[in-house]
Amino acid sequence: MKLDVDVLRYLSKDDFRVLTAVEMGMRNHEIVPSDLIGRIASLKHGGTYKVLKNLLKHKLVHHDSSKYDGFRLTYLGYDFLAIKTMVNRGVFTAVGRQIGVGKESDIFEVSNEDGTVMAMKLHRLGRTSFRAVKSKRDYLRHRSSFNWLYLSRLAALKEFAFMKALEEHGFPVPNAVDCNRHCVVMSLIQGYPLVQVKQLQNPETVFETIIGLVVRLAEHGLIHCDFNEFNIMIDDDEKVTMIDFPQMVSVSHRNAQMYFDRDIECIFKFFGKRFNLSFEQCSDDIDDDESSRPSFSSITKTAGFLDKELAASGFTRKDEDDIQKFIEGDVEEDDVSDDEHDSELCQTNIKGFDSLHLDQEESTSRCNEEGEGQVVEILQSPEVGQSGDPESQNLSSNEGDENDDTELVKSLAKQRRRAMAAARKGHHKNSTSRNSYKDKGGKSSNNSKIQKQLASW
């Protein structure tokens, strides 16, 4: 199955209404009964069944009649809801090629009206294991709808909140533009993951910058927990940017020391192997134990340093607890069939790069193919949202956003406006494909090919 954004242009307002109804139903049901979907969507002339058939055809929902007749969203369906919301907010107007595939995410280029290219990360937390998670965890037992939608949304919110907070404290991170559901939009880093870089002009300087970042993070009360050559980007001027924050923990975490040492060790190992660095020489000034590693105990740490900023982005302590419980738990391989993996969970892909007209009746059509036409143009149409309890409330024609909390929505909207302004200033008219970048000697990232990566937690 592909992230065939082309399909977006054929989806009608009713399609999105029913898709949103399924999403709302999933707050309380793993499989949403068909009649409930009908009640939530309450289409004027009935017809939910026909719409569901169309959604099924495009693999936006999955049909399950094992216990009762019902549907659930697929990743693709969730992707479409987030993409549509972003488009309606004016965050971007086109989706381009896939530029990254991680354990728990797929990353695409997107561009806005000005032609500013950004990165969109779609979180896939629990991609392989959400069913196992649901059945095996105590804290999930009482919440049937606690599932991959929730986990992926939390991961996105956490990433967005941390990115913003870190940026505000001067850390080299992408500019966090917006967040909706499991989707985070951020500035596109013009560089390569360190793992692809075979040569550096100044490996010692880069090494010390990176180790300095781990130390400075700890001083700010944080440990990255996945700080390695895959999550460090480096550009042609050897400027370092760190990415990928959903697994960060506080320095007061019970395993903080272990996570800190592991992050440091990863960097030492990588630079030792790849760039033949001898650490006795280049890291004298940061040595403070026998093994020449910065020591966790000697760093002056301020836990809670970023709490205010994180709260401002809507990421709460409860969110953090939930996501940590998930990250730290032992989740067994799930029971999702191979067929299902193939059909919806693994191979996200972009098909074609033609322009597209979304929901033609209610949108003005615009077509803005760039370069070799590597963008799929998505057009503006009224926002799809949801509110309230799905059992008791129908979708009204003027739905709010997915979040019930208006304060949160307001604060996110404000941040978004600021971030959009910053993105416009800093990353103007970047339509160059990252493929056209000179390879620094590393293995090609093979971005055009979609890799199948399944992770079990």
Inter-residue contact 135 to 141 (CB < 8 Å): no
Burial group, residue 209, by CB count within 10 angstroms (0-12, 13-18, 19+)? middle
Of the residues 102, 115, 329, 442, which one makes contact with Mg ion according to CB under 5 A: 102
| Residue 41's binding partner out of Mg ion, ligand ADP, none, with CB under 5 to 8 Å set by partner kind | none
Q: Which stretch binds Mg ion (CB under 5 A): 98-106, 294-302, 361-369, 416-424?
A: 98-106
Burial pattern 260-293, b for ≥16 Cβ within 10 A else e, equals bbbbbebbbebbeebbebebeebbeebeeeeebb
Could you say whether residue 244 binds ligand ADP (CB under 6 A)?
yes
x/- contact string, 193-222, with ligand ADP (CB under 6 A)? x-----------------------------
Residue 64, CB-side half-sphere exposure with 13 Å CA sphere:
16
Which CB, 183 or 186, lies closer to ligand ADP? 186
Residue 363, CB-side half-sphere exposure with 13 Å CA sphere:
25
Q: Rounded to whole angstroms, how far apart are CA atoms 160 and 411?
A: 13
Cβ 196 to ligand ADP, closest distance in Å?
A: 8
**Pairing relationship of beta strands 94-102 and 376-377 according to DSSP bridges:** antiparallel
Out of 226, 244, 319, 359, pick the active-site residue: 226
Window 85 to 104, contacts with ligand ADP (CB under 6 A): 99-100, 102-104
Size of the site for Mg ion (CB under 5 A): 4
Q: Rounded to whole angstroms, how far apart are CA atoms 127 and 338?
A: 13
Of the residues 79, 244, 334, 401, which one makes contact with Mg ion according to CB under 5 A: 244
Which amino acid type is present at position 10?
Y
Which CB, 193 or 385, lies closer to ligand ADP? 193
Q: Which residues, listed in sequence order, are joined to residue 120 by a DSSP beta bridge?
A: 108, 185
Which of left, alpha, beta for 198 (phi over 0: left; psi -120 to 50: alpha)? Answer: alpha
Q: Which residues, listed in sequence order, are joined to residue 64 by a DSSP beta bridge?
A: 70
Which CB, 187 or 386, lies closer to ligand ADP? 187
Could you say whether residue 112 binds ligand ADP (CB under 6 A)?
no
Report which secondary-structure segment, H or E, holds 16.
Answer: helix 13-25
Q: Which stretch binds Mg ion (CB under 5 A): 59-67, 102-110, 340-348, 438-446?
A: 102-110
Which CB, 262 or 366, lies closer to ligand ADP? 262
| Residue 189's binding partner out of ligand ADP, Mg ion, none, with CB under 5 to 8 Å set by partner kind | ligand ADP
Cβ 39 to ligand ADP, closest distance in Å?
A: 37
| Residue 174's binding partner out of Mg ion, ligand ADP, none, with CB under 5 to 8 Å set by partner kind | ligand ADP
| Residue 390's binding partner out of ligand ADP, Mg ion, none, with CB under 5 to 8 Å set by partner kind | none
Enumerate long-range contacts of 61-66, CB under 8 Å, 24 or more apart: 61/19, 61/22, 62/340, 62/344, 64/31
> How many of the other CB atoms lie within 10 Å of CB of 40?
26
Centroid of chain to Cα 121: 4
Could you say whether residue 270 binds ligand ADP (CB under 6 A)?
no
Q: Rounded to whole angstroms, how far apart are CA atoms 303 and 45?
A: 56
Could you say whether residue 231 binds Mg ion (CB under 5 A)?
yes
Which CB, 231 or 381, lies closer to Mg ion? 231
Window 383 to 402, contacts with Mg ion (CB under 5 A): none
| Residue 79's binding partner out of Mg ion, ligand ADP, none, with CB under 5 to 8 Å set by partner kind | none
Please give the sequence-ordered ranges of beta strands (E in DSSP) within 195-342, or none if there are none. 222-223, 232-234, 240-242, 249-250
Of the residues 75, 92, 230, 305, which one makes contact with ligand ADP according to CB under 6 A: 230
Active site residue 226: yes
Going by the DSSP 8-state scheme, the letter that residue 291 receives in this structure is: T
Which CB, 102 or 400, lies closer to Mg ion? 102
User: Minimal CB distance to Mg ion: which residue?
Assistant: 244
Cβ 244 to Mg ion, closest distance in Å?
A: 4
SS3 state at 187: strand
Cβ 230 to ligand ADP, closest distance in Å?
A: 5
Question: Would you tell me which residues interact with Mg ion (CB under 5 A)?
Answer: 102, 230-231, 244
Active site residues: 226
Binding site for ligand ADP (CB under 6 A): 99-100, 102-105, 107, 119, 121, 174, 186, 188-189, 193, 230-231, 243-244
